[in-house]
Structure 1
């Protein structure tokens, strides 16, 4: 019998770590997402650390090839494998220039908010390569693809909520035109984070912007749900809500 590939070995590990109750819970959060085993994120992070001690680039290559050939699902790549693939990129590379081609190869496989958000939040090297990372995400914000745009927006809220980027970030979000639910939610979430951390810079934007009514109102809602916003400010924010116009 031939030796198992590193991907086959890791698939056995993933199946052994699967939690049926967590699978059921997580599947409800990701409707339409196939191939969820139910491995909890801390376990996936621990497995990624194990992979980094060996041929982790080989693992990425094998999972990527399987995804291209068979797609995602029980007979293709597991959702949990996508997370591992992304975590290996985030943890394995030290330089942005080395990681960039792998990030480019991974983004088309993102097909739900959880893979997107875990990947973006784990891509810590963006903090060390700020200019390179900022330039990298710009085309995705204009890509017209739901999860490409979400990738760009979540990268901004994860790594670029600061005085140096707030003006340009608001301009980028104001220019987003996409009807996808997960794009709108990402923009609303990002605006709330920018407001919470930089209220004086963001308030003029909230008073005059080109957001659709749903995204705008959702951003206001998220601001008022934050424990870091005082009651007086929440009252002002609630008064800014737009009436929803008929579609």
Structure 2
């Protein structure tokens, strides 16, 4: 663990630290190591005694927490063990960057969709901002498909939390739904229970997409509350 800390400080980039710290307000333990380097380290750890590493790993710094999450994502084990490690990791998530990087690294979800969908249900009903964001980001990464789109729109409509990072995740997810399933999502936007902030952010993110044509964006803009 001491070697890992030394390595992280060797890789620290002061300009990147200032930049990334600005993107993660209230997080004051960032060393300043870029994500590709953290992924390299995590992949190397995942090839070895990763269980022993996780058992003694430190969470003193942002980068250490990120590495712990990535090791869980990259480690080879059965789905039940993977979910147990995920369950132990989720409470450590306290910012959007670790949440989103962790979620989009959990590629095992693609082969275990029903089991993971059941697993995330309690998080969708949590009162903790980043537990809900974790579940929503899992959804937007792996479940906006033909088989799940109807269920996902219903699920997103039931997410209720005043946290900024929950609302932004839901808006992001809805914009992706629109890009992939325009007609269904348009019908949803005409009849939903979203609060005004999340609804308008959803419209904004749809309009920011390069995959939505100019005429459709004009219609979307006219729907603002």
Larger Rg: 1
The correspondence for 1:109, drawn from 92, 109, 126, is: 92
Conserved 8 A contact 1:94-1:125: no
CA distance in 2, matches of 1:160, 1:59: 31
Instruction: Specify the alignment match of 1:27 in structure 2.
Output: 21
C-alpha deviation, 1:54, in angstroms: 2.2
Question: 1:35 Cα deviation (Å)?
Answer: 1.1
After TM superposition, the structure 1 = structure 2 runs for residues 152-231 of structure 1, keeping only pairs within 5 Å, are: 152-231=135-214
Q: Aligned partners of 2:190 and 2:46: how far apart in 1?
A: 48
Corresponding residue of 1:100? 83
After superposition, the C-alpha distances for 1:3-47 in whole angstroms (9 at most, x for unaligned) are xxxx22211111111111110100000011121001100000111
**Stretches (4+) displaced over 6 A:** none
Separation of aligned partners in 1, 2:173 and 2:201? 11
- Cα distance 1:94–1:230, how it changes in 2: closer, same or farther (>3 A)? farther
Matched, 1:8 2:6: no
Q: Distance in 2 between matches of 1:37 and 1:127?
A: 32
Deviations 1:200-225 (A, max 9, x none): 22111100000000100000000011
Give the C-alpha shift of residue 62 in structure 1.
1.4
8 Å contact kept, 2:29–2:61: yes
The answer for the alignment partner of 2:43 in structure 1 is 49
Q: TM-score, normalised by structure 2?
A: 0.97
After superposing the two structures, state which structure 1 stretch, 119-128 or 130-139, moved more: 130-139
CA distance in 1, matches of 2:78, 2:195: 38
For structure 1, the 5+ residue unaligned runs are: 1-6, 68-76, 243-247
CA-based RMSD of the aligned residues comes to 1.0
- In 1, the alpha carbon distance for the partners of 2:117 and 2:159 equals 17
